[in-house]
Structure 1
Amino acid sequence: MDVMQIANGIPMWIACGIPVVLVVIQAVLFARGAYGAGKKMGLGEDKMKKAMKSSAITSIGPSIVVLSGMLSLLVTVGGPVGWMRLSMIGSVMFESIAAGLGTSAVGVTLGTDPMTEEALAMAVWTMVLCSVGWVIFSTFSANKMDKIEHKLSKGNSGTLSTIANCAIIGVFAAMVASHISKPFYSMVLKAEEAAMSSAWHNMLACILGAVIMFVLNTVANKKNIGWLKEWALTITILGAMIITALV
Structure 2
Amino acid sequence: MIQHMGLLRNPLYMDVANSAYMWAAAGLVVLLVIAQAGLFMRRAYRSGKRMGMSEDQLKTGMRAGMISAVGPAVAILIGMMALVATVGGAIAWMRLSAIGSVMFELSAAELGTQQLGYSLGDEGLTEVAYANAVWVMTFGAVGWLVISGLFTPHMETVRQRIGSGREALLPVISAAAMLGAFGYLATGEVMSGSPFTASVAVGGLMMLALLQIADNRDIQWIREWALGTAMIVGLFAGVVTEVTLGGLW
TM-score, normalising length from structure 1?
0.69
1:124 and 2:111 are equivalent in the alignment:
no
**One-letter amino acid of the counterpart of residue 116, structure 1:** T
- The superposition leaves residues 168-193 of structure 1 with CA deviations (integer Å, 9 ceiling, x where unpaired) of xx38x938x949xx7xx97xx98853
Whether the aligned pair in 2 keeps the contact of 1:98 and 1:126 (CA below 8 Å) is: yes
Whether the aligned pair in 1 keeps the contact of 2:207 and 2:226 (CA below 8 Å) is: no
Partner of 1:84: 94
Whether the aligned pair in 2 keeps the contact of 1:76 and 1:110 (CA below 8 Å) is: yes
**One-letter amino acid of the counterpart of residue 46, structure 2:** G
The Cα of 1:88 is off from its aligned counterpart by: 0.6
SS in 1 for 2:86: coil
Aligned partners of 1:58, 1:110: CA distance in 2, in Å? Answer: 33
Whether the aligned pair in 2 keeps the contact of 1:90 and 1:131 (CA below 8 Å) is: no
For residues 20 and 152 of structure 1, do their structure 2 counterparts lie closer, same or farther at Cα, with a shift above 3 Å needed? closer
The runs of 5 or more residues in structure 2 that have no matched partner are: 1-10, 161-166, 238-249
SS in 2 for 1:75: helix
Match of 2:32 among 11, 22, 29: 22
- The superposition leaves residues 215-238 of structure 1 with CA deviations (integer Å, 9 ceiling, x where unpaired) of 3x4xxxxxxxxxxxxxx4225544
Partner of 2:175: 174
What pairs with 1:1-247 in structure 2 (closer than 5 Å)?
2-89=12-99, 91-142=101-152, 145=153, 149=156, 170=171, 174=175, 178=179, 192-197=193-198, 198-212=200-214, 214-215=216-217, 217=218, 232-235=219-222, 237-238=224-225, 241=229, 245=233
Aligned partners of 2:148, 2:90: CA distance in 1, in Å? Answer: 25
Aligned partners of 1:111, 1:192: CA distance in 2, in Å? Answer: 17
Aligned partners of 1:57, 1:210: CA distance in 2, in Å? Answer: 24
The Cα of 1:13 is off from its aligned counterpart by: 0.8
Partner of 1:225: none
Aligned partners of 1:149, 1:98: CA distance in 2, in Å? Answer: 29
Whether the aligned pair in 1 keeps the contact of 2:14 and 2:88 (CA below 8 Å) is: yes
The Cα of 1:107 is off from its aligned counterpart by: 1.4
Aligned partners of 2:40, 2:105: CA distance in 1, in Å? Answer: 25
The Cα of 1:59 is off from its aligned counterpart by: 1.9
Whether the aligned pair in 2 keeps the contact of 1:106 and 1:119 (CA below 8 Å) is: yes
- The superposition leaves residues 87-121 of structure 1 with CA deviations (integer Å, 9 ceiling, x where unpaired) of 11351111101111111111111134433211111
Partner of 1:157: none
For residues 178 and 196 of structure 1, do their structure 2 counterparts lie closer, same or farther at Cα, with a shift above 3 Å needed? farther
For residues 64 and 202 of structure 1, do their structure 2 counterparts lie closer, same or farther at Cα, with a shift above 3 Å needed? farther
- The superposition leaves residues 51-73 of structure 1 with CA deviations (integer Å, 9 ceiling, x where unpaired) of 22222222222222221232112
Percent identical: 36
Whether the aligned pair in 2 keeps the contact of 1:76 and 1:115 (CA below 8 Å) is: no
**One-letter amino acid of the counterpart of residue 67, structure 1:** L
**One-letter amino acid of the counterpart of residue 220, structure 2:** L
Aligned partners of 2:144, 2:134: CA distance in 1, in Å? Answer: 17
Q: Tell me the C-alpha RMSD between the 2 structures.
A: 3.8
The runs of 5 or more residues in structure 1 that have no matched partner are: 154-162, 218-231
SS in 2 for 1:86: helix
Aligned partners of 1:76, 1:42: CA distance in 2, in Å? Answer: 49
